Structure 1
Amino acid sequence: MSVEHAGAAAPHDHGRTPGERHATGYDDETRARLTADAQEIIARYPQARSALLPMLHLVQSEDGYVSPRGIAFCAATLGISTAEVSAVATFYTQYKRHPNGTYTVGVCTNTLCAVMGGDAIWEELSEHLGIGHDETTDDGAITLERIECNAACDYAPVVMVNWEFFDNQTPASAVEVVDKLVEGAPVAPTRGASSVCTFKQMSRVLAGFPDGRADEGVGAGEATLRGTLLAKERGWTAPSFDADERAAATGATHGEPDAGETQSSADRPETTPADVSPAGEQRKQKSDDAKES
């Protein structure tokens, strides 16, 4: 069934809005709350459809995943089709298309973390929990994932819990973390907030509703700051940069080079198949003729 443009009335809809017609899976109270939040999100953007990404996080904060009713709500509220919403929701891995656990435990298995022990951590957690990638424990507590680099290579191997950092992990320490999560015991990440929030709470923050915890805990750790501290200890400073002085010293000019000048695209080596094809040769000849004239 197609979704009418927001604001347009469908036959026999008794004056209901698109959100009310298509998000019938939500009760009146929940729908009213989501609609108010959605309008706050939409107001941040020049075009309503630009609000889709945070709105997907919003419905995920309600349902624990991007549910069919959540997709319908986003489509109706933004005046786009459910197919358009689904296309975005299936593109990004942070949007879940099936119920997620209370905690997403992500193990980085990119190159550095892997060789530093990430693969061993993954294998230990997978066996300990009895689940594989993007699977959830029977009690709904943990969803386990292999994740891509989270820009914390100086703390490898890294495990993330709802995108909070657990640095310098081992198989044993990672098992200890997930056991505490399953028990409901408080768990503190290495950096960031002083405790780990739930998946739904995290999704609401990603929708653009701060939880007031941004300044909790440690920000940058010792490994991250080591270069800065070393520079201070040794009195190192970055050289000053004056564009005019640099240009005078090197003979460089400001801005992009004109076509045909050194470093312009016309000066690149002709090595691509398009360059050496008959059509490419013809284009080159025309260009050379134009330069000579």
Structure 2
Amino acid sequence: MAPWKVLPEHLDPQAGRLVDRLRRLKDATGLSFTALAARTSYSRSSWERYLNGRKLPPADAVTELAALAGADPDRMLALHALAAQTWPGPQPKDTAVPGTSGAAPEPEEPASEPAAPEAAAVAPTPAEPDTPASVPPVLVGEPADPAEPARARPARRTLLAAGGALVVVAAVLTVVLTLVLPGRGSAGAGEEEHRRVAAEEFAFKPDRTYDCDIHRFQGRLYAGHSDTEDALLQQISTTWDVVEAQCLLEHRGYRIGGIDGAYGAATERAVKRLQDKEGLVVDGIMGPHTWEALRR
């Protein structure tokens, strides 16, 4: 495979890192530019521009190449978002190669038919011709079955009384468990409120930002996205833990620009300022000691 051309000198380090990573992904696939164009939505000339640093590739192109190489698309999209912030010149989007598949529009659901009036739904039932005239009609309010024997009534009253007693016992036990067991009652409600962290798997999306629910729980500071105390984060991590760290950094006055879940250069600089102020090792990596200082 021919050696790669030297990247343009005007590219920022973040942009150069993205292009270098894309080149390694292409090498890992073993595909030529022509084969790469056949397997993706972008032409051979577009890939040549992207991988020689002459044009910023669209996010979709980055995702498709990552999928072909078996790489993590979230990490590649995070690199792409950082490179887009410093990429020189305009960044027009290339048009995908015609003929590629796209999601077909979903058909509209037909409007539900109006329900027929109840009066029209039930037709009168004609009287059967062979019904004997001697059979007396059933009067409205007349019980269909014979009256329940008197001896069965005490048994039913006993069962109802026992059921009521069980309900009372269950209610008492609920109150006792709420007031006595640790972690229940008002404390349990507070913990449930605190545990409103993100349950879905994190997926980095360029230009998406998140809100922060800053609060204290048991003397520690949280932002509503992660309860971690020891997650190791560095460039370029993309997790809910990064969102949590970015929220707390912004809350403490260490500006990073946006809460996007990508551990970029701005987040690393903010972590270093925090570490320097707290007398920690200034390496820009989130670890147990840095989390401890951040959650105070």
Same fold (TM over 0.5): no
Larger Rg: 2
TM-score for the superposition, normalised by structure 1: 0.25
TM-score (norm 2): 0.25
